[in-house]
Amino acid sequence: MYQQISEGQAWNNLINSRWQTERWDLNQTVTKETMQEIIDEVHARAPCKQNQVHYGMHVLDWSDTSLRNEIFEMAVDRDNPNHKYNPQTLSNWLVVFTGRIPQPISYDYSERNKDLLYLGLSSVEIGLASYMLIHSAAARGLQSGFCRCLDYDYEGWEAEILPKLGLEYPDEVQLLVGIGIESDSETETFNPHTNTWVESLKSLKYKWDIEPKPPQDEYINWYVQI
């Protein structure tokens, strides 16, 4: 029998059904049609200032394994003594968010350079769009993983990543989001380009224990009449 649930319960089910994911089942298929539906929803509903859209989205499957591998090799925390790589980027699909300067409607950007990409609008809009992206995916039973450990000094930028994405410089890339089907593996995920398994610990599924947020009263301020 169909069980009706409240809108509040539907939202709770949605936000509790996704988590930061680093292990992917590439034997299963996430169709282009499914990804198009997700992107359509982000395009139609993600808010952006005056609908100009201050970001770009590059949606990648595994058609070009070399490019996907270069992004994986670039997305590494080299400040970590063990050079922590980010297998979020080995997902069934990868969405690369970039800064974008829209064609001016009422603004004159002619005297501004690439530093504009670091200004608030791109960052705010990428945050809004990426959050909608992951929950649109979750509504379809898919998982997701954020990655912001980007090595802007990586040598593969000029040779592989920038020309294939149609970009001019590494700073344009702001955020990577993996979308796909979570693997049952406890310890690793697969890289089709190198045909190797990559370390990816399932124990990091819930990061609250190892990377807890500060208490709410440290960053949330209420202004109410008691």
What is the b/e burial string over 7-46, where b = at least 16 CB atoms within 10 angstroms of the residue's CB? eeeeeeeeeeebebbbbbbbeeebeeebbeebbebbeeeb
Digit-coded pLDDT (tens) for 108-136: 545 555 555 556 789 999 999 999 999 99
Ramachandran bin of 145, using left for φ above 0, alpha for ψ from -120 to 50, beta for the remaining angles:
beta
Give yes or no for residue 4 having a pLDDT over 90.
no
Comparing 29 with 169, the larger pLDDT belongs to 29
Digit-coded pLDDT (tens) for 25-60: 999 999 999 999 999 999 999 999 889 899 999 999
- C-alpha distances in angstroms, 45 versus 50, 52, 164, 172? 13, 13, 28, 24
What's the pLDDT score for residue 121?
A: 86
Mean of pLDDT values over 190-207: 82
Residue with token string 């680093």: 22
Judged by average pLDDT, the poorest of 71-75, 79-83, 220-224 is: 79-83
Q: Greatest CA span in the chain, whole angstroms?
A: 63
What pTM did the predictor assign?
0.89
pLDDT band for 224, please (50, 70, 90 cuts).
very high
In angstroms, rounded to a whole number, what is the distance separating the alpha carbons of residues 172 and 186? Answer: 34
Judged by average pLDDT, the poorest of 125-129, 153-157, 163-167, 204-208 is: 204-208
Return the CATH number of the domain spanning residue range 21-194.
3.40.109.10
Q: Domains of the chain: which residue ranges?
A: 21-194
Helix (H) or strand (E) holding 176: strand 173-180
In angstroms, rounded to a whole number, what is the distance separating the alpha carbons of residues 218 and 143? Answer: 30
Mean pLDDT over each residue of the chain, to the nearest integer: 89
In angstroms, rounded to a whole number, what is the distance separating the alpha carbons of residues 22 and 92? Answer: 11
